[in-house]
Structure 1
Amino acid sequence: MKAHTWRRLGAIAAAGTVSALALAGCAPASTGGTGGEEPSDEPVTLTITTFGTFGYDELYKEYEDAHPNVTIEATNIDTGGNARTDLFTKLAAGSGVSDIVAVEEGWLGAVMEVSDQFVDLRDYGIEDRKADWVDWKYETGTDPEGRVIGYGTDIGPTGLCYNAKAFEAAGLPTEREEVAKLLEGDWAHYFEVGQEYVDKTGKAWFDHSGFVWNSIVNQLPEGYYTKDGELNVEGNAELRENFDMLAAAVEGGQSAAQAAWDWNGGKSFVDGTFATFVCPGWMLGVVQGQVETGGGDASTGWDFADVFPGGAGNWGGAWLSIPETSEHKAEAAALADWLTQPEQQVKQSAAAGNFPSTLEAQETLAAEATPNEFFNGAPTGAILAARAEGVVAQFKGPQDSVIQENVFGPALNKLDHGEADADAAWDEALSLLAELVE
């Protein structure tokens, strides 16, 4: 591997966290065989690393039953941000990377900076499946040289989770169709209704500013980067205008100032701390898990509406990639291909709420409209299919997830806790941007 690639890997890994990472010494990667070879029938152990709520556990068992020679050793990391740090630390060390790794949309741009460290899946027939996926999913997994480095798993069309009991307490509609009518419109309207809720109940409208901000940014034609790959934060009047709008809602008491990915051990989903929650498909599993961890169940009152402030938006989604260090590339490609087939994507959606990136699986969920008992019988798959209309993933630059989590994250946290006003929080973000992002 070229020296400049090792330097990029080290820089990417270090940027993924605000604390310093001690990166191990680097050694050349093993190619592990000839590209395009057929999977072996010999006994093989395949390692795979995912993150968050993927819904793959039963699929792993199904694959092993159908392939007695294959043993799957799975690792699931709690969040996408931690998975990013794990991957780039191991890539920089030249060892320890799984045979298959899940890559998240927010840091795919960073992976593309070192795409030569991942197998070109065209060698394993992925081009024959190109028409399976929504076109932008396949294209986004393709590097500038035309190498395809990821089998598309899910995408992140976004609807709104809301607590019907909280809405009822505020005199707001509770039926999901009526809630959709109530909240149809832009973010300014969402915050207007939110202020009405706060004034009537004295409780917060949403959990914390970080997820709301991320949702707003994802809907812009260009986010933290321009389509040409240039940083797009400082001097961005549209971004600052939206930031000020969110800050005004926070000052009105609409944020519950929760810690991202914690929510008081799930209790805040149960005790009415906040009433609404931004929900890309993969977040449905997170909500259910948090409610149950917090001592609640389906009767807690969470529902899912076919509406989202500002219209269509995509947050998240992933790909399954195979590092060049894998010694079982053909077998890994066969497993990754199988996991992302439409039939398996439908099962994944049932297990975790993730919304498929393959057209056939999307059509299946839309047609079946299976009630999700946890979300008051909401046909979550069909709702997500409707929310997916018009969705196109925004271009994500190499440090996009770092900007969201480590630049705007701390600034919005100060805003939520009353430690900074809009001007001070924005200045804090710009200061962190200069410090953390090249």
Structure 2
Amino acid sequence: MKLSRRTTVAAAVAGAAAFSLIATGCASGGGGGDAASSDNPVELTVTTFGSMGLDDLYAEYEAANPGITIKATNIDTGGNARTDTFTKLAAGSGLSDVTAIEEGWLGSIMEVSDQFNDLSDYGATDISDRWVDWKLKQGTDADGRIIGYGTDIGPSGLCYDKELFAAAGLPTDRAEVAALFGGDDASWEKYFELGKQYKAATGKAWYDQSGFVWNSMVNQLPEGYYTSDGELNVDGNSELEDRWALLADGAASGLSAAQTQWDWGKGKAFVDGSFATFVCPGWMLGVVKGQVESGGGSAATGWDFADVFPGGPANWGGSWLTVPTQSEHPQEAADLAAWLTAPEQQVRAFQAAGVFPSATEAQSAPELSEPSDLTAFFGDAPLGEILAKRSQGVVAQYKGPDDSVIQENVFGPAAKDLDTGVDGATAWQNALDLLNQLVVNQ
């Protein structure tokens, strides 16, 4: 089922409540004005979300571009950023000159892509070979307009607490942990089987909550909530139903710690032994570090990162930098977006937050293997090397216009049902009821 542009925007608001571009900023802004300079100052606004690793780059860009000042806003989660973006799209004002969008709601953005500048008009064709081909394709609308410069992609590995593994008699060396889960043959069946062993040995939960595990299970399928040609693909989807049954059995077996998404007791659940494993796309590594530190922990708490993931290669997340047509300075904004997504800056974003580059040149950069505060936190794990391996075979799934609504507002509550004792069949039916209410009948 395909929804109208108006319906998609309304549902989004309601449902979510060049490598050498060293920042020249040389072209004229919107309306044909003079280029930014110390005599012609331009303020650019930027809105990002979560841990994108860009915060430390703005001052450098300002220093290299006299006359440019950057006013940056970071929204805590992608879901809240989605609400903010679509509210301002509907209002016709308020969007930042450079606005980050997330993979889960890219489909909705494409329904209103005419509200974003075609970056081909501002130099995109000169750098279009920068990214892995599917990342560029995702950021291109049906009319061939490039509306987003890719930042990261989300290859996934497994975070685990070495101290808790040791207490349960499980191996702690990351290579041995990868082998324990089955290496290249790792499966969700094995993941839940090991979880039951851990629960029997310790009496504690295996993972934080069912929602993030479910997201990972869905995202690695060839087709998720939509078919590749844009049709809704939930009711009657046997692959989703089989994975839901595994998840429901895990929750019924006490493997979920029933944590609140994006909270975890202000990080305390990461340090008090509440759960032993955590699904980790690259961008989540910075989240784990931040949560542990918020909860009073440190690298000594014992979290590590293994080169393995149940079910094989998986991509969860990734984002783009866009220039909305609301911007009064589209050329300067496009120049900034291009610089922030250049390979050098993608490497630095990775070092800061673990966000794995979508720029091919950055993916093989030796700097990805250099020590950083983030690698030190994860026991000197070679994060770049692991994520490069985990990215092999990853191809991003097609995301339909209401993909994020389905993930957050349909299966989010249903996954929480599992964590509060609702049986799998009832929770699945609850999800279908919400799907009909929020998507099908809108």
TM over 0.5, yes or no?
Answer: yes
Does structure 1 residue 141 correspond to structure 2 residue 139? Answer: yes
Q: Matched residue pairs, number?
A: 419
Does structure 1 residue 403 correspond to structure 2 residue 401? Answer: no
Conserved 8 A contact 2:211-2:415: yes
Equivalents in 2 of 1:74, 1:119: separation in Å? 20
1:430 is matched with 432
Conserved 8 A contact 2:347-2:368: no
1:391 is matched with 394
- Offset at 1:381? 1.2
Equivalents in 2 of 1:365, 1:311: separation in Å? 25
Equivalents in 2 of 1:294, 1:345: separation in Å? 29
SS of structure 2 residue aligned to 1:130: coil
Residues 107-141 of structure 1: CA deviation (Å, up to 9, x unaligned): 00000000000000000111111211111000000
- Offset at 1:39? 4.4
2:26 is matched with none
1:292 is matched with 293
Does structure 1 residue 43 correspond to structure 2 residue 45? Answer: no
Q: Quick one: which amino acid aligns to residue 30 of structure 2?
A: G
CA separation of 1:54 and 1:388: change in aligned 2, threshold 3 A: same
Q: Quick one: which amino acid aligns to residue 77 of structure 1?
A: I
SS of structure 2 residue aligned to 1:178: helix
Q: 2:382 pairs with 379, 384, 404, which one?
A: 379
Of 360-369 and 87-96, the range deviating more from structure 2: 360-369
- Offset at 1:16? 2.1
- Offset at 1:58? 1.2
Matches within 5 A, 1:204-223: 204-223=205-224
Conserved 8 A contact 1:366-1:382: no
Matches within 5 A, 1:268-417: 268-365=269-366, 368=369, 370=371, 372-417=375-420
- Offset at 1:6? 5.2
CA separation of 1:253 and 1:5: change in aligned 2, threshold 3 A: closer
Equivalents in 2 of 1:38, 1:164: separation in Å? 57
Equivalents in 1 of 2:232, 2:382: separation in Å? 39
Equivalents in 2 of 1:341, 1:47: separation in Å? 19
Conserved 8 A contact 1:370-1:381: no
TM-score between the two structures when normalised by the length of structure 2: 0.92
Q: 1:128 pairs with 126, 129, 136, which one?
A: 126
Residues 36-67 of structure 1: CA deviation (Å, up to 9, x unaligned): x8843320100010000111121011111111
CA separation of 1:365 and 1:239: change in aligned 2, threshold 3 A: farther
1:11 is matched with 11
Conserved 8 A contact 1:39-1:330: no
Q: Quick one: which amino acid aligns to residue 71 of structure 2?
A: E
Equivalents in 2 of 1:183, 1:6: separation in Å? 46
Q: Quick one: which amino acid aligns to residue 9 of structure 1?
A: V
- Offset at 1:275? 0.2
SS of structure 2 residue aligned to 1:262: coil
Matches within 5 A, 1:249-268: 249-268=250-269
Equivalents in 1 of 2:384, 2:34: separation in Å? 35
Equivalents in 1 of 2:8, 2:103: separation in Å? 19
Conserved 8 A contact 1:306-1:387: yes
- Offset at 1:9? 2.6
Conserved 8 A contact 2:8-2:401: no
Structure 2: segments with no counterpart, 5+ residues: 18-28
- Offset at 1:366? 7.7
Equivalents in 1 of 2:34, 2:344: separation in Å? 23
- Offset at 1:367? 6.6
Residues 303-340 of structure 1: CA deviation (Å, up to 9, x unaligned): 00000001100000000001001001011001000000
Q: Quick one: which amino acid aligns to residue 387 of structure 2?
A: L
SS of structure 1 residue aligned to 2:277: strand
Q: Quick one: which amino acid aligns to residue 307 of structure 2?
A: D
Matches within 5 A, 1:23-102: 33=30, 39-41=35-37, 42-102=40-100
CA separation of 1:142 and 1:276: change in aligned 2, threshold 3 A: same
SS of structure 1 residue aligned to 2:364: helix
1:202 is matched with 203
- Offset at 1:365? 4.8
